[in-house]
Amino acid sequence: MSDQQTPNETELLVVGAGPGGYVAAIRAGQLGLDVTLVEKEAVGGTCLNYGCIPSKALISAADTAHDASTGADRGVRADPEVHLEDTVEWKDGVVDRLTGGVEQLCEAAGATVVEGVAEFVDETTATVRTDNGEDELSFEHAVVATGSRPVELPGFAFEDDPILDSRQALALDEAPDSLLVVGGGYIGMELAGVYAKVGTDVTVVEMLDEVLPGYGDDASELVRERAAEFGVDFRFGEQADEWTEADDGDGVRVTTVTEDGEASEYDADRVLVVVGREPVADTANLDALGVETNEDGFVETDGRGRTAVDNVFAVGDVAGEPMVAHKGMREGEVVAEVIAGEPAALDYQAIPTVVFTDPEIATVGMTEADAEEAGYDTVVGEMPLRANGRALTLNEEEGFVRVVADDDEGYLLGAQIVAPEASELIAEFGLALELGATLEDVSSTIHTHPTLSEAAKEAAANASGRAIHTQND
């Protein structure tokens, strides 16, 4: 990160250079504001440096190895070796390129980037502590973009060597022989897949009765069954209670308990604890600002990112669910435009969520249950991947595209996808929701053949009883 001096005053102070913070800084700079962006670690935040990007790089490498080793039915026979140290070095190179790119974009927008720790004194003043000392900075507006951090289980401190958080799990230079994953949410399932595919014996312990709660039973079941195929073992209804060194001194022994108090023990080389993330609202001396937080610790904002303090805004994970980078990025754009006097607001109904498992899960808008609870008469259409030509040529026939619409007018209300590249396919439905599109708008749009995207067209047509390549109900 560039070593710039803290100015005495600025129009906009942004605290935190994650996706929400750096986007707010860049957009505000584009709009002519004098911007100071303060970051204590690396530009790009958790997502770019220790989360989204590193994990997707490792997923890509693990998928490459797995595809090569399981291609016999397609005439490909190979026994690849995974050198995780080299993989991590490549991953770090990707991160460095992107971090450098963000720094250049900030510079091009005229934002001053300061490596340091910012703490608010009052509604218009902050101190910034750097290696060169502490300076006072006055500001007209502020954006709080302090992000989130992993939730730590009692007794499972991340400082203890065998206990890993997601950040540490993405930096191992050697795959452990065995890994116990505590938590079957999206991070746990993504990393369980990575390590299983590179040869680690992986067990996932989840206190609920299914992985990926909130993504739909059929989607969760499909992903779990696929993970089991490449070696992931699952234990449900159990909660990690304590750990000790293994009897032989090599690795750890974790004790879990059920609701009924029944205990089980698991031995592993490493333990990855991924039981959720929590907002970082207890730093930067936010109390001095007078902003309000809700019962979950998120800074409360209106539909344009403004907090209870008129000149202070909040974006990204600290500002509420869903804690995804693309929501934070859009919030960053919106608050910059609001501060600059531009008309802007965020539509929270059209924010996609994605799980980069195998296969991927992607959703946007309402599920059928959500829509009916909101009072809609719904119609649902679905296209199974087994009826999609491109899916079969990819040897990926398990999955589906599902759409939910208003039965009266046909307006699209939501979509759920379980498929390879679901993360890419969901964008079509996000745009459709943003534009108020109908089932006919989607189904009458010509989609390239043969592609996975045709499943979107067919699902929309199926909801209207007009699908060609799958049976209409």
pLDDT along the chain (473 residues), means of 10: 77 98 98 97 95 96 94 91 95 97 97 96 95 94 97 89 93 95 98 97 96 94 96 96 85 94 95 96 90 94 94 97 96 98 90 97 96 96 98 96 96 98 98 97 98 98 95 86
Q: Report the pLDDT value the prediction gives residue 7, as an integer from 0 to 100.
A: 80
CA distances (Å), origin 154, targets 33, 158, 186, 203, 241: 45, 10, 21, 20, 8
Q: Report the pLDDT value the prediction gives residue 159, as an integer from 0 to 100.
A: 81
What are the φ/ψ torsions at residue 316 (nearest 5 degrees)? 80, -155
Task: State the DSSP H helix or E strand holding residue 280, giving kind and residue range, or none if neither.
Answer: none
CA atoms within 13 A on the CB side of 73: 7
Domains in the chain (CATH in brackets) are 9-150+278-340 (3.50.50.60), 163-275 (3.50.50.60), 352-464 (3.30.390.30)
Q: Could you give the CA distance from residue 473 to residue 468 in angstroms, rounded to a whole number? A: 12
CA distances (Å), origin 234, targets 199, 211, 251, 256, 332: 17, 9, 20, 13, 39
pTM: 0.94
Q: Could you give the CA distance from residue 36 to residue 27 in angstroms, rounded to a whole number? A: 12
Q: Return the closest-CA partner of residue 170 out of 299, 45, 59.
A: 59
Q: Report the pLDDT value the prediction gives residue 122, as an integer from 0 to 100.
A: 95
Cis preceding linkage at 450, omega within 30: yes
- Positive or negative, the CA dihedral 164, 168, 169, 173 is negative
Q: Put residue 72 in one of left, alpha, beta given phi > 0 → left and psi -120 to 50 → alpha.
A: alpha
Buried b (16+ CB within 10 A) or exposed e, 77-102: eeeeebebeebbeebeeebeebbeeb
The secondary structure of residue 55, as a DSSP letter, is H
- Active-site residue, 447 included: no
The secondary structure of residue 358, as a DSSP letter, is S
Catalytic residue among 141, 326, 449, 469: 449
Q: Report the pLDDT value the prediction gives residue 161, as an integer from 0 to 100.
A: 78
Q: Report the pLDDT value the prediction gives residue 89, as an integer from 0 to 100.
A: 96
